[in-house]
């Protein structure tokens, strides 16, 4: 059974990114995966310091990524890129965590522009040898699209569920 972990790069309690990732995770579970969610708003993770090995929850969080066969990476769009919260976690994890891992990308935007954020995620995940799947999800006007944890738009929900399924399928292949 593939293990899929979602990583949410928002610190907000009522995060739309986290809500969308939960939808993708449910689809992954329906496809037979064991699922896990790392909510970066609810962990103890100081600003990465290269001179220090073990900071806050870093070792436990890295292990959860390392043991996963697939990752669903989600972030809010901040200044046309991904959040500093996501970047901080990115600095802790390297190819040791992401080698042979299928990765699916998701970005939520307040406005309409998420393309740069998905590109930045794609190139930085490639840098750590992840297998980033071509299917990706961008959600514009996220606070209106996601209400109380649910998608208003069926097509967007289906696209997000598809991300969970595709990452699970590729994760299964990479396990073989």
Ligand X SMILES: Cc1cc2nc3c(=O)[nH]c(=O)nc-3n(C[C@H](O)[C@H](O)[C@H](O)COP(=O)(O)O)c2cc1C
The CA distance from 17 to 7, in Å, is: 10
| Smallest distance, ligand X to C-beta of residue 156, A | 13
Cβ nearer to ligand X, comparing 11 with 66: 11
| Strands 131-139 vs 81-82: parallel, antiparallel or unpaired | unpaired
CB atoms within 10 A of CB 88: 15
| Smallest distance, ligand X to C-beta of residue 1, A | 29
Cβ nearer to ligand X, comparing 1 with 42: 42
Cβ nearer to ligand X, comparing 2 with 77: 77
Cβ nearer to ligand X, comparing 7 with 142: 142
| Smallest distance, ligand X to C-beta of residue 38, A | 14
Cβ nearer to ligand X, comparing 77 with 167: 77
The residue ranges that bind ligand X (CB under 6 A) are 10, 12, 15-17, 76-80, 108-111, 113, 142-143
- How many helices, marked H, and strands, marked E, lie in the chain? 7, 8
| Residue of closest CB approach to ligand X | 110
The CA distance from 154 to 164, in Å, is: 15
146, 169 Cβ separation under 8 angstroms: no
90, 8 Cβ separation under 8 angstroms: no
| Smallest distance, ligand X to C-beta of residue 75, A | 8
Is 10 in a helix, a strand, or coil?
A: coil
Residue 83 DSSP symbol? -
| Smallest distance, ligand X to C-beta of residue 129, A | 27
The CA distance from 93 to 58, in Å, is: 9
């Amino acid at each position: 059974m593939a293990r899929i972990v979602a990583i949410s790069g928002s610190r907000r309690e009522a995060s739309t990114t986290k809500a969308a990732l939960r939808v993708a995770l449910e689809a992954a579970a329906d496809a037979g995966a064991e699922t896990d969610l790392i909510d970066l708003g609810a962990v103890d993770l100081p600003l990465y310091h290269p001179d220090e090995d073990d900071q806050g929850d870093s070792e436990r969080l890295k292990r959860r990524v390392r043991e996963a066969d697939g990752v669903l990476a989600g972030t809010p769009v901040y200044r046309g890129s991904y959040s500093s919260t996501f970047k901080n976690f990115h600095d802790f994890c390297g190819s040791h965590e992401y080698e042979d891992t299928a990765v699916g990308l998701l970005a939520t935007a307040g406005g309409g522009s998420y393309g740069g954020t998905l590109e930045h995620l794609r190139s930085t995940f490639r840098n750590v040898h992840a297998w980033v799947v071509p299917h990706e999800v961008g959600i514009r006007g996220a606070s209106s699209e996601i209400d109380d944890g649910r998608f208003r738009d069926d097509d967007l929900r289906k696209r997000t569920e598809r991300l969970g399924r595709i990452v699970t399928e590729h994760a299964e292949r990479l396990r073989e």
